[in-house]
Structure 1
Amino acid sequence: MRLSHLADYAVVLMTAAARYPAGARLSATELAADTGVPLPTTQKLMGQLAGCGLLTSARGAAGGFALALPAADISLADIVEAVEGPIALTLCSDSNNHECILDAHCRVKPHMGVVGNAVRGALGAVSLTELAR
């Protein structure tokens, strides 16, 4: 399993935001400069992370983005899922009906949810506080 560039960048941005004092409002420009993530990508991800409830945003002179929760309450799994969607290692392990030629006789499919939950549990055990150290 490998994170996409966007998920990787989201982790970098959230980790950088967690290094600021609690409640600090940051602009996408500041975070892009701090992290090296290109500004258009930073802007896109900040909006996406805000839409998923991991960041808050405010407009105006005192505006910007801030963590919506304490860093200790945001996990690596939360960040990855905000960008990638639910953690599922195979197409058949989510609730959608995907066409697979093995579906009728696959003995692994019923267990893939367990594997996905284990991966999500491992990522969920890593807090943003730990990443920001």
Structure 2
Amino acid sequence: MIRITREADYGILLMTGLAQAEGQPRSAAALAQQRRLPLPMVGKILKALTRAGLLNSQRGAQGGYSLARPASEISAADIIGALEGPLAITECSSERHDGCARQDHCEVSGHWPRINQAIYSALQGISLDDLSQPNPPRPLHFHPLHPTGVHQLDRPI
């Protein structure tokens, strides 16, 4: 099973809370309380998202965290990548892959980058704005004829 980390899951929850705040800074404590998450983990995640350029951080009584760019310009892939690093479904699809002892004999190694790209494209096609809506705008369906393998009802992603 392919899973994102708890940090990435919480990161998406925190980012949707900030998107719904419509530009108003929110403190780590307020976000932790709103999303019912442990404050130490919230602080760690917010700092990582700030380092990645997805959030602005402002100190002071009126300070807090806010989105660094519009929610429509931040993707699920951006958030997950900021917290987990580059997407790599297998070791041989990692950017840091130096080779594998089985690579010369592996019949599927050439397919992993394509599978990796399909997953990345699907995540890239879902914006923070989409994630901030109470219901998904359109369901996703597997589309075997589209290069990414994923298709929204009205457009490939």
TM-score when normalising by structure 1: 0.93
Deviation string 1:58-80 (CA, Å, 9 cap, x unpaired) is 11122111000100111111111
**Structure 1 position 69 matched with structure 2 position 69:** yes
Q: Separation in 2 of the partners of 1:99 and 1:70?
A: 39
Deviation at 1:98, TM superposition (A): 4.7
TM-score when normalising by structure 2: 0.80
Q: Separation in 1 of the partners of 2:42 and 2:87?
A: 22
Alignment length (residue pairs):
132
Contact 1:28–1:42 (8 Å) recurs in 2: yes
Deviation at 1:100, TM superposition (A): 3.6
Contact 1:91–1:98 (8 Å) recurs in 2: no
In the TM superposition, 1:1-133 aligns within 5 A as 1-21=2-22, 23-98=23-98, 100-133=100-133
> Secondary structure of 2:111's match?
helix
RCO comparison, higher one (Cα < 8 Å, 6+): 1
Higher helix residue share: 1
Deviation string 1:6-56 (CA, Å, 9 cap, x unpaired) is 1111011111111112x2111000100000111000000000000001101
What is the aligned-residue RMSD (CA, Å)? 1.2
Percent identity between the two aligned chains:
42
